[in-house]
Structure 1
């Protein structure tokens, strides 16, 4: 059974919990009622470790939580779709005892979804005044939007995503209904959440293997004054690794000649990256040399170990010997947990792309790494120097790669930088 945190206004939480009996063998719901969107950030921060997943009553708290936690892997929200619009519209019509033809609506959804819904209501289209907002919506601004249209005589009713806005409008005698969702939509969303949680669980329990290598270990042995000094060093190194194993709930295998393997689970390793970084620093200090780390995930021990060896080889090719992870699908993660984290794949199924890369003699991994960096940095334009600095490559090498990609229209040269002093101008590039 999975513990699910339900976040939203009390009326919506009650509607969700009305289905609790149907999911009693699958979910345990924990309510986190809130009246203001500002409360969502504190709720998810404080209770993240207490639940396995989050269910939000709408897109606004969902977007806030996603930004707060930095991921949406274990969270969903219940969207207001056509059925939700119909439900609220007919409630408004029944309440007023007449067919409402002029409405003001606020929504985080696109205008097209509301237009499609209204077009299907009758042959006579409705007049809709739409206000689309973002997750940081100003409720007072939305309130003024509806008030002004009503006072100008342009609308006969209001549909809003905010119960507070509806309440304030009703107090002024303006017909307003809260645009919410149906039980059918709740069930559909819970089905999606169940799949997300199960996928995350199986992913979390995948086998994870860390290969830790003390570099230049042969030279360390040569420098040792006697065998006992070397044995004392190995005991100190092993002590650091055993403490790391305790945090990872893993097992340590000594491969010899300065190489060690730790077997654990993917979820534990991902959560304890900072502990691994601390251990690496201690190992490097004790051995007075660099330490290389490769991590592999897989469905079996064989696939995880293979990925770990590929990862450590990849790390050795990097200038700073950063930690590298290779996931079960071949996705490469460089510098995990840091601001410089870079995630990209080393394969493609796009035949047109493969043909172009073959013509310009650039590897798929190199191309994917460049595009991943450009996207992560948010660069609309970039120079070869920008790429060289972040990719730990020489500018000359990067210039050659970019030039070759320009020849097959994977990259476009769109101009040059101007310098007041003499020197070579830098060309400006853009991904095609």
Structure 2
């Protein structure tokens, strides 16, 4: 049985989405859990509490989706029933019919994401903007700015500039009704909801195909001779090997009975599906740390994903090789069929990037300063994850290199024009200020 979560602040909309969903998904194999919130601050808790059993989320609009997005697990299928130009045009016609006039004298509030669709709908319909007053709001802060939106409409009503209000907010709708101002609340029609549900169905199928890929986890002990030299005799050495195998078997059990193959002393291959490995990457990381702590030997893991066992095995070898080149203590590294590299798998902040680059201008500039493609792509991915200007120390920490090496790489990228300095920050009264950088937007990998 598939379980989908539906989130809205309107019980009527929740019911409408459920009714439309019955025509898209098989009712015999699908369960819906509805969540009706009163305040957008409730949404993160709804997501965190429900994600253990929910396989996909349906949001009634942009506002709940915007508040939920930061808390959705990676690769979790989610859609929202966003008002598009067609929907807005439908409400414009409804307002025109109710006013029984040839000129629209209305005010309307919309999330900023819908502004382009609104302008396009008005222009294509050749509707004059003179008597139409628009207020765009930030979906993330609508609950805190309800008073501002209501005042916008109320002032226009008192000035006699409008005859009706179109709002996309339930709270604004309720407030205007209390002021006895004619108001229509806009929400997605059956057509919009069905399109969103079809998109969710497609994303769920795509995610299922990805999760069913073959995954191979290759675990290798780096310095097995250290264990041998520390043993008092062959019996103790064999006991230590048995402890190692016990830890690996426990890991297989945690991976729900995945197939285990022992290649030779200290080298193991675990076969499973990609979905199982990605959901339990933290357990692989914990097992490696446990082996390091209890047996005092270095262990590394490389995970390969692929359509076939051969593809997965080849990518697992590539992941191990990559880990040795970058940092022998890298815990878990994965490489998929497209060559995408995932570092720090199993942590809260994994880093994903591709090692291939096809932009000839960037390649030429990298070659001129002697910076490798892989390092450039890693820095680009780190900068994107940080989201604001980065420092050399942040790059050093994420890449597992010294500050000196990070400064050298960034200096070379500055020379190549691929990184730009955007300012400085001083965290203390002593010492030099720290320079902040950004990737040059003119050159996108």
User: Fold-level match, TM-score > 0.5?
Assistant: yes
Aligned 1:58-207 pairs, distance under 5 A: 58-71=61-74, 73-99=76-102, 101-108=104-111, 109-125=113-129, 126-138=131-143, 139-207=146-214
1:187 offset after TM fit, Å? 2.5
Cα shift at 1:426: 6.5
Counterpart-to-counterpart distance in 2, 1:417 and 1:175: 52
Tell me if the contact between 1:333 and 1:342 (Cα under 8 Å) persists in the aligned partners: yes
CA contact (8 A) 2:153 2:165 kept: yes
Cα offset for 1:366? 0.6
Residues 320/21 of structure 1: CA separation in 2 closer, same or farther (3 Å cut): closer
- Find the partner of 1:44 among 32, 35, 47: 47
Moved more, 393-402 or 187-196: 393-402
Deviation at residue 247 of structure 1 after TM alignment: 1.3
Q: Which runs of 5+ in 1 are unaligned?
A: none
2: CA distance between counterparts of 1:89 and 1:39? 32
Q: Which deviates more, 112-121 or 58-67?
A: 112-121
1:130: how far off?
Answer: 1.6
**C-alpha spacing 1:203/1:391, structure 2 compared with 1 (3 Å):** same
The answer for the alignment partner of 1:305 in structure 2 is 313
User: Alpha-carbon deviation of 1:168?
Assistant: 3.0
For the structure 1 residues 337 and 401, does the alpha-carbon distance in structure 2 shift closer, same or farther, using more than 3 Å as the test? same
Closer, same or farther in 2 for the Cα pair 1:29/1:224, shift >3 Å?
closer
- Tell me the distance in 2 between the aligned counterparts of 1:22 and 1:91: 27
The answer to which of 282-291 and 300-309 deviates more is 282-291
Moved more, 259-268 or 93-102: 93-102
Match of 1:263 among 251, 262, 271: 271
Say which SS state the counterpart of residue 49 (structure 1) adopts.
coil
**Offset of residue 71 of structure 1:** 4.1
Q: Which moved more, 1:276-285 or 1:58-67?
A: 276-285
The equivalent residue for 1:28 is: 30
Q: How far, CA to CA, are the matches of 1:79 and 1:116 in structure 2?
A: 15
| 1:189–1:89 CA distance, 2 compared to 1 (3 A) | same
Q: How much is the aligned-residue C-alpha RMSD, in angstroms? A: 2.7
- What displacement does 1:339 show? 4.5
234-243 vs 313-322, which deviates more? 313-322
Structure 2 equivalent of residue 16 of structure 1: 17
TM-score for the superposition, normalised by structure 2: 0.87
What is the SS of the residue equivalent to 2:139? coil
The equivalent of 2:395 in structure 1 is 387
Q: Among 360, 377, 380, which residue is 1:351 paired with?
A: 360
Equivalent residue, structure 1, for 2:338 = 329
- Is this contact kept in 2: 1:296–1:326, CA < 8 A? yes
More displaced stretch, 394-403 vs 278-287: 394-403
Per the alignment, residue 443 of structure 2 pairs with none
Change (3 A) 1:24 1:123: closer
Distance change in 2, residues 1:322/1:240 (3 Å): closer
Structure 1 pair 53–225 and aligned structure 2 pair: CA distance change class (3 A): same
Shift of the alpha carbon at 1:407? 3.0
Give the match for residue 338 of structure 1: 347
- State the shift of 1:59 in Å: 0.9
**Residue deviations 1:374-395, cap 9 Å, x none?**
2222342534x44334322234
State how far apart, in whole Å, the 1-side matches of 2:217 and 2:75 are: 26
Residue pairs, 1:394-413, within 5 angstroms: 394-413=402-421
User: Deviation at 1:194?
Assistant: 1.4
Q: Relative to 1, partners in 2 of residues 1:413 and 1:180: Cα closer, same or farther, differing over 3 Å?
A: closer
Task: For residue 429 of structure 1, report the CA deviation from its aligned partner.
Answer: 4.1
* Equivalent position of 2:226 in the other structure: 219
Classify 1:273/1:185 alpha carbon distance in 2 versus 1 (closer, same or farther; 3 Å).
Answer: same
Task: Report the equivalent of 1:371.
Answer: 380
Contact 2:81/2:192 (CA < 8 Å) preserved in 1? yes
Aligned length, in residue pairs: 430
Aligned twin of 1:56: 59
Q: Could you tell which deviates more after superposition, 298-307 or 401-410?
A: 401-410
Q: Is the 8 A contact 1:17 1:29 kept in 2?
A: no
Query: 1:301: Cα distance to partner?
Result: 0.9
1:266-305: CA deviations, max 9, x gaps? 1111111222222112211332122212111111111111
Q: What is the SS of the residue equivalent to 2:263?
A: strand
Cα pair 1:111 1:132 within 8 Å, conserved: no
Secondary structure at the counterpart of residue 19 of structure 1: helix
Secondary structure of 1:50's counterpart equals: coil
